[in-house]
Amino acid sequence: MIVMSIAGVDPSGGAGVFADLKTFQAIGVYGTGIVTSLTAQNPYKFFSTLPITPEYIEEQIDSVMDSYEVEFIKTGMLYSPEIIELVSKKVKEYNLKAIVDPVMVATSGGNLTKEDLAEALNKYLLPQAILTTPNVSEAEKLTCLDINTKEDAIKASKNIKCNNIITGGHLDGINTININGEITTIKQELIKTNNLHGTGCTLSAAITAYLAKDNDLKTSIIKSLDYVYEGIKNGNYGTLIAKI
Ligand code: PXL
């Protein structure tokens, strides 16, 4: 039950690799973390990004794989098309089951990527992923469709290149899940808060952890929606002890 996050570092700990590791720990799986990029930020302000070279990201992945059996990974901030291509190569090489959080911009508005990543995600990574977890604006970028209603979200979900959940934080709390073409919508109460930094990272990390604990994909998604909801309600999702 060893999982891996391939993502950026948010030094304030709410998002990125640090948040993923806390989530893995809370749900009870051992987490490893590959750093694609450093950032300087806090939940309210994004200062800058320092990317790691694809060669050194590859060396990090190989060094962990050299001694750990990893089946499930999640990807977060991948920064550039070159890094996306590298990660997709490693997914194939190690036969990894990848949950892809198609991170493009931070909740705080910071630019987490060098350029538009939708094309590279669609070309290299999503066709190999077991799930992707876009929010509404990421789903719009991946599909070139506008999403304003539940019906729009369902249409977009059918145009994404792998199983997906389009999260509902910007759509009245309606989450749209598409597993093998079968659509399920789950409406959650929206909580008024400004404490949402890293919720997307935490959702995809939780799904990865629940999958590693032998839950099926739909169960893992439902448990993770609940985990993030409870975390938002308590204002401490990074340290929440999971209901397993
Ligand atoms: O939530 C998107 C995200 C992903 N990865 C890193 C981030 C953020 C948002 O701030 O900092 C490293």
pLDDT digits (tens, 9 = 90+) for 9-30: 999 999 999 999 999 999 999 9
Q: What are phi and psi of 164, to 5 degrees?
A: -155, 160
Query: Where does the chain have alpha helices with state H?
Result: 16-27, 54-65, 81-93, 118-120, 136-143, 150-159, 199-212, 217-234
What would the mean pLDDT of 94-122 be, rounded to a whole number? Answer: 83
User: Going by CA atoms, what residue is nearest to atom 2 of ligand 1?
Assistant: 106
| 33 pocket-lining for ligand 1 (C-beta < 6 Å) | no
pLDDT attached to residue 111: 66
Torsion sign, CA atoms 217, 223, 227, 232: positive
Which CATH number do you get for residue 107? 3.40.1190.20
3-class DSSP state for residue 135?
coil
pLDDT band of residue 244 (cuts 50, 70, 90) is: very low
Smallest CA-to-CA distance from 111 within 46, 170, 16 is with 46
pLDDT band of residue 114 (cuts 50, 70, 90) is: low
- Determine the atom of ligand 1 nearest the C-alpha atom of 77: 5
pLDDT band of residue 239 (cuts 50, 70, 90) is: very low
Question: How remote is the CA of residue 108 from the centroid of ligand 1, in Å?
Answer: 9
Query: Other C-beta atoms within 10 Å of 103: how many?
Result: 27
- Position 43 pLDDT exceeds 70: yes
| 10 pocket-lining for ligand 1 (C-beta < 6 Å) | yes
User: Going by CA atoms, what residue is nearest to atom 10 of ligand 1?
Assistant: 106
The total domain count for the chain is 1
| 130 pocket-lining for ligand 1 (C-beta < 6 Å) | no
Q: What are phi and psi of 110, to 5 degrees?
A: -75, 150
What would the mean pLDDT of 224-230 be, rounded to a whole number? Answer: 95
pLDDT band of residue 109 (cuts 50, 70, 90) is: low
User: Going by CA atoms, what residue is nearest to atom 11 of ligand 1?
Assistant: 10
pLDDT band of residue 107 (cuts 50, 70, 90) is: low
HSE-CB for 179 with a 13 A CA cutoff:
11
Both tokens of 151, joined, read 């019906």
Average pLDDT, the chain: 92
What would the mean pLDDT of 214-219 be, rounded to a whole number? Answer: 98
pLDDT attached to residue 6: 98
Helix (H) or strand (E) holding 175: strand 174-179
- Strands 97-100 vs 131-132: parallel, antiparallel or unpaired: parallel
Expressed as residue numbers, the domain containing 106 is 2-243
pLDDT digits (tens, 9 = 90+) for 69-102: 999 999 999 999 999 999 999 999 999 999 999 9
Q: What are phi and psi of 132, to 5 degrees?
A: -125, 155
